[in-house]
Amino acid sequence: MSKRTYFNGSFEQRTRQVFSLGEGLPCAEVLSLAYDTGGNANSILFAGTAKGLVRIKDKKVTSVALPLSKDDCAVGMLFADKSGRVWAGSGKQVFCIEGKKIVASAFETPVIAMDEGDDGALWLLTEDYLYKKEQDTAEFAKVIDVPGIGSCLTVNGTKEVYVGSKKSGLLALIGKRCHWAELFKEFTGLPSNCVNCVSFDSTGTIWVGTDKGVSVYDGRSHWLSATEVPSLPKGVINDMTFDADGARWFATSTGLVLLKDGALKYYGFKRWVPSPCVTALAIAANGTVCAATNEGLSILETQLMTLEEKAAHYQKTVEKYHVRKDGYVTVRFLNTPGDIEDGYVEVSDNDGTWTAMYMACQAYRWGVTKEKDALEKARRTFKALQKLTTVTDIPGFTARAIRYPGEAAGFGDGDPEWHLDAKGECEWKGETSSDEMVGDFYGWSVYYDIVANEKEKAEIAETVRTIADHIIENNFKLIDFDGLPTTWANWAPEDLNHNNHWAAESGQNALEILSFLKTTYHMTGDEKYNDVYHGLIRAHHYLMNIMHYKFEDYHACHIDDELAMLVITPLLKYEKDPIIRSYIINGLTHHWQYERIERTPFWSVIYGSLTGRHCDIEVAAESLEQLPLDLIHWPTYNSHREDLEWVVASEEFWMAPQLKTPLPFDEKPTCKYDANPFHADSGIKFVVTEAPDGSGPIEQIEIVNRYCSGENRVEDGTLFLHPYWMARYYELLGD
């Protein structure tokens, strides 16, 4: 098998921190933002709220006392000039803040915006007038009145001045005798006469944000919008700011949008901003971006990181937040939504599989690094997994999970599927399904091949032998504590091949039992299991079943995708017959090609490691880059986006319409790989209705609690660690 190693290098990793009432803001409603012009990474952020002005430095919020009434102290405008002064507009006043010195200037109407020319002259816009203050003067002088209601201002050089208005389009200041050239949508390329923001970039090109999207203007007669350039944002644009590297950030009514390298990136509610409507933006010299909303502000920071460094981050978070008694690893539930420190580790419905996957990634990690810590973590999870096989006292019957008194899992609640163990120390859950067997056999195979010493190999061999015997002796089923077959653990030929109730599982479950038998034979060397394996192939065409095991379902159900990818791994590792392998690889190739559109890194790594073929490893690396460092299930809303394509075929499977192509991992709902990546939203729906008094639209969030939603739930970092360390082990990724 040839090896193709992809070296990913460093990439930009973004994180966000929210500031609101709990972090020291006097009010959650943030109206304006500005970074001072210190030009270094420690720039001070000024934030104007509905109840006053604050400065934020080193994550500390400090109030800035302005001479204003407590009942009328909203700061709706902020501007930092090149000399280091900060100007704060509140109502009809503007305050110049220079160190501890504060000087006020009064105007006839509310202050809206400020900008600075190359000559150091300051320009100021009120609702109805444009003012200018030369460098050597103390006062602002009137320049010209503004038609309509002024909304924004931008200055280029010393004389190029543009003003936006709420209803009168874009205004250009021209002529020896200053007057306005009025640029209306009716005879220009403006998408709307409601201009919310305007800015020159370093080339002198004018960017205009309206309630109907962005327009780019050359200052003469050439206009571009999303009609001509699809990468330009649409919708309500409230503010914009530009970075020196060419990145352009836009504040919209449905989140934060980044235009960089010809592509749009969406940073939406609630992962990235605390409220859908972003009203103001500011950018620091180091590229840190701050976004204002009516529920607080969000600071987005960027750091260069490698995938290996990212793996170290997840390794720490798993061990700190996701490990419970005995070493079981799964999701964390939060008592306070969004606060990972305040919570507990779930007793899940499938502790064995999730723990086995963590054990596998630690085994791969040890195989790559030979770090003692990786070996210790793998051994700890191995012991936890083994306990599930012995706690039931039923030979070959493995528990789904174990719970102890005092855990937040209902110990002793009388649930008929939970049984007290023989020592009375814990309860174990029955109704064990094929899922548990898949996860366990996969995990044991990885541990056996990479980590296990001779004693552990013998222990694993005896474990899989006992399970295989239980399955074979019970007509290819698992028999529960009550003497009945469990619901899903069925690999019997008469059902898979001759019972329509099991038609959808005929390929999947055939794949599973062949893998269990091949794994058991590999570890025990007992021909008994090889004979049963070949018997299912010859007498019951199980090999034919798995040639096309993936049931094409319009990408509606994904649990079996993960099970198939896990269970096919030991089967192809241990099966050496090229003819038999050709059947299995036929099924795997069809499956991977069908799922390829998902950009799930785990699927690509499994396919590449088992076949040696091209597996979109660079796409897998990009997906690993995109996975947020914070794996909280933040409510997510994307359905408003005009760039999305939808399919409705999934309704045949009782599923809601879903996306034609999944969103990037940092834009879509957070979930495991066995959940649906084609969902655009989770937990919320954004509703726009008309106000009863006819004053305009009302935008609000409706909680719907769908899919894998809930900001009180956190995935463990196995999502990243498993595909990453597997890719490193098989030399698909280098770092």
For the chain, domains (ranges, CATH) are: 15-106+236-305 (2.130.10.10), 117-234 (2.120.10.30), 634-714 (no CATH)
Contact status, residue 384 vs residue 355, Cβ threshold 8 Å: yes
φ/ψ (deg, to 5) at 87 = -110, 125
Contacts of 655 (CB under 8 A, 6+ apart): 554, 556, 676
What is the per-residue pLDDT across 273-326, written as a single tens digit (0 to 9) for each? Answer: 999 999 999 999 999 999 999 999 999 999 999 999 999 999 999 999 999 999
What is the DSSP secondary structure assignment for residue 492, as one 8-state letter? -
* Separation of alpha carbons 412 and 37, rounded Å: 62
φ/ψ (deg, to 5) at 98 = -135, 95
What is the DSSP secondary structure assignment for residue 325, as one 8-state letter? G
pLDDT at 1: 45
Task: With H, G, I as helix, E, B as strand and everything else as coil, classify residue 362.
Answer: helix
CA neighbours closer than 13 Å in the CB half-sphere of residue 545: 26
Contact status, residue 249 vs residue 268, Cβ threshold 8 Å: no
pLDDT at 701: 59
CA dihedral angle for residue 27, residue 30, residue 36, residue 37, rounded to 10 degrees: 170
Amino acid in position 140: F
pLDDT at 570 over 50: yes
Cα 272 to Cα 79, 267, 496, 661, 668: the distances in Å are 24, 5, 47, 22, 12
Contact status, residue 656 vs residue 650, Cβ threshold 8 Å: yes
φ/ψ (deg, to 5) at 623 = -65, -40
* Separation of alpha carbons 727 and 609, rounded Å: 8
Q: Kindly state the percentage of the chain with pLDDT values over 70.
A: 95
Confidence of residue 710 (pLDDT cuts 50, 70, 90): confident
Beta bridge partners of residue 34, listed in sequence order:
46
Helix (H), strand (E), coil (C) string for 146-160 = CCCCEEEEEEECCCE
Q: What is the mean pLDDT of residues 131-136?
A: 94
Contact status, residue 714 vs residue 632, Cβ threshold 8 Å: yes
The count of other CB atoms within 10 Å of the CB of residue 662 is 20
pLDDT at 374 over 80: yes
Write the DSSP string, 424-442.
Answer: SS-EEE----HHHHHHHHH
What is the per-residue pLDDT across 198-230, written as a single tens digit (0 to 9) for each? Answer: 999 999 999 999 999 999 999 999 999 999 999
* Separation of alpha carbons 628 and 612, rounded Å: 29
pLDDT at 686: 59
The count of other CB atoms within 10 Å of the CB of residue 638 is 22
Task: Give the position of tokens 């038998």.
Answer: 517
What is the DSSP secondary structure assignment for residue 65, as one 8-state letter? -
Confidence of residue 684 (pLDDT cuts 50, 70, 90): low
E strands, 441-543, are: 477-479, 485-490
Query: 659: which 2 tokens?
Result: 């996306």
pLDDT at 642: 86
What is the per-residue pLDDT across 596-615, written as a single tens digit (0 to 9) for each? Answer: 999 999 999 999 999 999 99
Query: 592: which 2 tokens?
Result: 């991977």
Amino acid in position 177: R
pLDDT at 659: 94
Query: 368: which 2 tokens?
Result: 């790559």
Angle between helices 351-369 and 372-390 (to 10 degrees): 150
* Separation of alpha carbons 31 and 76, rounded Å: 5
417-422: Cβ within 8 A, 24+ apart: 419/392, 419/481, 421/391, 421/392, 421/393, 422/393
Confidence of residue 698 (pLDDT cuts 50, 70, 90): low
Contact status, residue 411 vs residue 427, Cβ threshold 8 Å: yes
Q: What is the mean pLDDT of residues 461-480?
A: 99
pLDDT at 656 over 90: no
Strands of 93-98's sheet in order across: 77-80, 86-90, 93-98, 101-106
Amino acid in position 664: P
Contacts of 577 (CB under 8 A, 6+ apart): none
Write the DSSP string, 516-570.
Answer: HHHHHHHHH--HHHHHHHHHHHHHH-HHHHGGG-----TT---HHHHHHHHHHHH
Write the DSSP string, 627-673.
Answer: S-S--EE--B--TT-TT--EE-GGGGGT---EESSPPPTTTSPP--T
**Based on the number of CB atoms within 10 Å of its own CB, is 424 exposed (0-12), middle (13-18) or buried (19 or more)?**
exposed
* Separation of alpha carbons 517 and 503, rounded Å: 22
pLDDT at 704: 57
Confidence of residue 707 (pLDDT cuts 50, 70, 90): very low
Rg (CA), the chain: 31
pLDDT at 407 over 60: yes
Contact status, residue 365 vs residue 390, Cβ threshold 8 Å: no
pLDDT at 315: 99
What is the per-residue pLDDT across 28-71, written as a single tens digit (0 to 9) for each? Answer: 999 999 999 765 556 899 999 999 999 999 999 999 999 999 99
Query: 263: which 2 tokens?
Result: 């592509």
* Separation of alpha carbons 193 and 212, rounded Å: 9
Amino acid in position 307: L
Give me the sign of the Cα torsion angle 332, 333, 338, 340: negative
Cis peptide before 270 (omega within 30 of 0): yes
Q: What is the mean pLDDT of residues 636-660?
A: 82
Q: What is the mean pLDDT of residues 125-140?
A: 95
What is the per-residue pLDDT across 315-362, written as a single tens digit (0 to 9) for each? Answer: 999 999 999 999 999 999 999 999 999 999 999 999 999 999 999 999
* Separation of alpha carbons 350 and 385, rounded Å: 11
* Separation of alpha carbons 679 and 635, rounded Å: 12
Task: With H, G, I as helix, E, B as strand and everything else as coil, classify residue 626.
Answer: helix
Query: 436: which 2 tokens?
Result: 């548990």
What is the per-residue pLDDT across 60-111, written as a single tens digit (0 to 9) for each? Answer: 999 999 999 999 999 999 999 999 999 999 999 999 999 899 999 999 999 9
What is the per-residue pLDDT across 146-164, written as a single tens digit (0 to 9) for each? Answer: 999 999 999 999 889 999 9
Contacts of 239 (CB under 8 A, 6+ apart): 196, 197, 209, 250, 251, 278, 279, 280, 281
Average pLDDT, the chain: 94
The pTM is what? Answer: 0.94
- 298 membership: H or E segment, kind and range: strand 296-305
Query: 595: which 2 tokens?
Result: 């799922």
* Separation of alpha carbons 691 and 247, rounded Å: 36
pLDDT at 438 over 90: yes
Residues in the chain: 735
Q: Kindly state the percentage of the chain with pLDDT values over 90.
A: 89
pLDDT at 693 over 80: no
